[in-house]
Amino acid sequence: MLEPNSVALVVLLWVSFAAAVVAVVVLWPRLARRRPLALLGRLGTQVGASALVVLAAAATLNQQNGWYGTWSDLGRDLMGTPPSVQRVAVKGDLQTAGQYSASAAAEADLRAQRLFGPERAVFARDAKLHVAPGPHGQWLHVVIPGLGKAAGRGAGKAMIWLPPAYVDGPSQATYPVIEAYAGIPGSPADYQKRMGLQNIIVRAHQKSGLIEPVVVVPDYTPSGIDTECTNSGGIDMETWLTKTVPAWTVRHLRVRPDKESWAVMGFSAGGFCAEVSAFLHPQQYGSVMLFGTYNNPSWGNWTPYGRRSIWPARYSMLNVVRQTPPPVDVWIEVSEGDRFAGPPSRSLINAAHGRMSVTSVYLPGAGHRFDVWQAVMPVALEWLGHAEPGFHGVIGDGVTHGTPRARSDDRVVLRGRKEDARPA
């Protein structure tokens, strides 16, 4: 059967279009008369040829991008029916739950409060946070320095979502963090405007008890450069994402510094970015959620090593997992009809071993597109709330009110640069 992403369908439609053009040329003289049948014939040939070229172009784009893998998937989307989870598989034991120490996490949280309380208060004032942000929180635009001149002007942009309780709740309460990466083409705003992540988080909080996290969405494509979240071509994007951004976040926002309270996620190209962050920096992130991911850099408009097929060995994520499996918990969406991300996702699952756990969610026939990932985002967040100790429980005002002084024995590892950040 000719599936919507098959090469055979693309060839058939373009051949049909060419035949339709020939038919128009051959039949047009016969249809030049001013009779009803001739008029209908001219209209029919033009409409038919136009429809075929549109279908051929659509099939070509679908074949290149893998939006729809099966006719049933296309039909469900046209009917407005979201994809459903076919099965869930679990491989390995959850890592962070066994490693988590509530007392150590609380101690690290208190140290961060003492060290950065004044800076957090200044940032909240300068950012002009809404006192009553509404039931779905508020988004901020910020600039986080540290990328350098090679990244171009305007580098370091990020969007941040603060849950409603961040302003309306206890003034000393602290929150877990999700660092999220968008796809390409795309931007951090996709999480706000297209996905409506803020609404999904609020519903997950109400349904499953997920602690509403702070969400940080950095822009890893400065000046339109597809960095693939790597340290390449003079742009240290990996370092900025995994060291500078977390350090800035802990310094300026009331968030928890322990790895069990940090998760990273991404879809498509952002999924690979999430792999780079979690697998190469498991000391920073306890869990990772992957949607339509792949396991090697997929250079687009930028080839820092001369060819698209060349990259440093450290960015071959399958080799990383096989050789030194990171102690992280992985949630991964596998679309059975996604010929781009389906095979890499299954390869990653098969490669996982050791201290790495993988929860796989399979969608029958689904393709590589945004609404698929949007549909399963609640499933991922529910998993996060149940699996990761830093993301479930109750936000309380466990810290003494006021602005405590930093003590000489307070130490928090800051892996980023110390420049003052500013609201965008």
Sorting pLDDT into bands at 50, 70 and 90, what band is 187? very high
Domain span holding position 398: 87-423
Of the listed ranges 25-39, 160-174, 358-372, the least confidently predicted one is: 25-39
118 inside domain: yes
Sorting pLDDT into bands at 50, 70 and 90, what band is 181? very high
Q: Residue 416: its pLDDT value, please? A: 36
Query: DSSP 3-state assignment of 157?
Result: strand
Regarding whether 155 and 35 lie in a shared domain, the answer is no
Sorting pLDDT into bands at 50, 70 and 90, what band is 2? confident
- The order of strands in the sheet holding 214-218 is 87-91, 357-363, 329-335, 287-291, 262-267, 177-181, 214-218, 157-162, 138-143, 422-423
Regarding whether 290 and 323 lie in a shared domain, the answer is yes
Report the alpha-carbon distance of residue 46 to residue 50 in Å, rounded. Answer: 6
Regarding whether 105 and 168 lie in a shared domain, the answer is yes
Sorting pLDDT into bands at 50, 70 and 90, what band is 61? confident
190 inside domain: yes
Percentages helix, strand, coil for the chain, rounded to the nearest 5? 45, 15, 40
Total domain count for the chain?
2
175 inside domain: yes
**Between 65 and 370, whose confidence is greater?**
370
Spell out the alpha helix ranges (H) of 130-196: 165-168, 189
Q: Percentage of the chain with pLDDT > 90?
A: 56
Q: Residue 38: its pLDDT value, please? A: 64
Regarding whether 112 and 22 lie in a shared domain, the answer is no
Q: Residue 130: its pLDDT value, please? A: 78
302 inside domain: yes
**Between 71 and 113, whose confidence is greater?**
113
Q: Residue 238: its pLDDT value, please? A: 98
Regarding whether 190 and 223 lie in a shared domain, the answer is yes
pLDDT at 113 over 80: yes
Sorting pLDDT into bands at 50, 70 and 90, what band is 404? very low
Sorting pLDDT into bands at 50, 70 and 90, what band is 54? confident
Q: Residue 278: its pLDDT value, please? A: 98
Regarding whether 261 and 335 lie in a shared domain, the answer is yes
Q: Residue 297: its pLDDT value, please? A: 96
Report the alpha-carbon distance of residue 144 to residue 251 in Å, rounded. Answer: 12
Cα angle vertex 112, ends 179, 203, to 5°? 40
Which domain CATH number covers 182? 3.40.50.1820
pLDDT at 415 over 60: no
Q: Residue 95: its pLDDT value, please? A: 73
pTM attached to this predicted model: 0.82
Regarding whether 291 and 147 lie in a shared domain, the answer is yes
Q: What is the mean pLDDT of residues 361-379?
A: 92
Which contacts qualify for 53-59: CB closer than 8 Å, 24 or more apart?
A: 53/17, 55/13, 56/10, 56/13, 56/14, 56/16, 56/17, 59/4, 59/9, 59/10, 59/13
Regarding whether 153 and 49 lie in a shared domain, the answer is no
Q: What is the mean pLDDT of residues 244-259?
A: 96
97 inside domain: yes
Regarding whether 248 and 135 lie in a shared domain, the answer is yes
Regarding whether 298 and 353 lie in a shared domain, the answer is yes
73 inside domain: no
Report the alpha-carbon distance of residue 406 to residue 373 in Å, rounded. Answer: 43
Which amino acid makes up residue 55? Answer: L
Report the alpha-carbon distance of residue 424 to residue 157 in Å, rounded. Answer: 8
- 217-231 pLDDT, tens per residue? 999 999 999 999 999
Query: Could you say which of 31, 65, 99 is where a domain stops?
Result: 65
79 inside domain: no
- 137-179 pLDDT, tens per residue? 999 999 999 998 888 888 999 999 999 999 888 888 999 999 9
Nearest Cα residue to 253 out of 74, 122, 133, 373? 122
Cα angle vertex 240, ends 235, 242, to 5°? 130
49 inside domain: yes
**Between 227 and 34, whose confidence is greater?**
227
Regarding whether 92 and 59 lie in a shared domain, the answer is no
pLDDT at 197 over 80: yes
Q: What is the mean pLDDT of residues 250-259?
A: 96
Q: Residue 32: its pLDDT value, please? A: 63
Regarding whether 381 and 308 lie in a shared domain, the answer is yes
- 264-308 pLDDT, tens per residue? 999 999 999 999 999 999 999 999 999 999 999 999 888 999 888
Sorting pLDDT into bands at 50, 70 and 90, what band is 34? low
